[in-house]
């Protein structure tokens, strides 16, 4: 059974990768399929390739459903709300200039 599984491993990984888009997740799915195969009675499997493809497909769909229930934020997205952006109000130095009244300069002292 091990040899038959190893012969299918690359194809199963490709199927899982096409569904999930992640090599790490695809490898996890293939490992889970192997664990289910080990627990299964060999005599009940008529078509090993078909059985493995079905199991990998179902596990991959479960992983996708799990992602939708717990969406992952892209790197840096968790801090997007903390970014300070300029307000529409004038900056503090501009406020100081606007607050200082414009007037005549004081007379210069005589020499």
Q: Using an 8 Å Cβ cutoff, are 52 and 5 in contact? A: yes
Cβ within 8 Å of residue 57, ≥6 positions away: 15, 19
What's the whole-number mean pLDDT along residues 81-107? 70
pLDDT digits (tens, 9 = 90+) for 56-89: 999 999 998 887 766 666 666 666 666 666 667 7
Structure token digits, residue 69:
């229930």
Length of the chain in terms of residues written: 111
What is the percent of the chain where pLDDT is above 90? 39
Burial of 56 by CB count in 10 Å (0-12 exposed, 13-18 middle, 19+ buried)? buried
Quote the pLDDT of residue 85: 64
Query: For the whole model, what pTM was predicted?
Result: 0.60
Q: With bands split at pLDDT 50, 70 and 90, how would you rate the model's confidence at 97?
A: confident
pLDDT digits (tens, 9 = 90+) for 20-47: 888 999 999 999 999 999 998 888 888 9
Quote the pLDDT of residue 77: 60
């Amino acid at each position: 059974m091990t040899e038959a599984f190893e012969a299918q491993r690359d194809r199963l990984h490709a199927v899982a990768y096409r569904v999930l888009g992640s090599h790490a997740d695809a490898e996890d799915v293939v490992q889970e399929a192997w664990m289910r195969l080990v627990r299964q009675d060999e005599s009940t499997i008529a078509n090993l390739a078909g059985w493995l493809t079905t199991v990998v497909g179902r596990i991959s769909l479960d992983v996708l459903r799990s992602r939708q229930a717990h969406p992952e934020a892209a790197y840096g997205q968790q801090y997007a709300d903390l970014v300070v952006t300029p307000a529409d109000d004038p900056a503090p130095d501009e406020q100081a200039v606007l607050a200082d009244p414009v007037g005549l300069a004081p007379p210069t002292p005589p020499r």
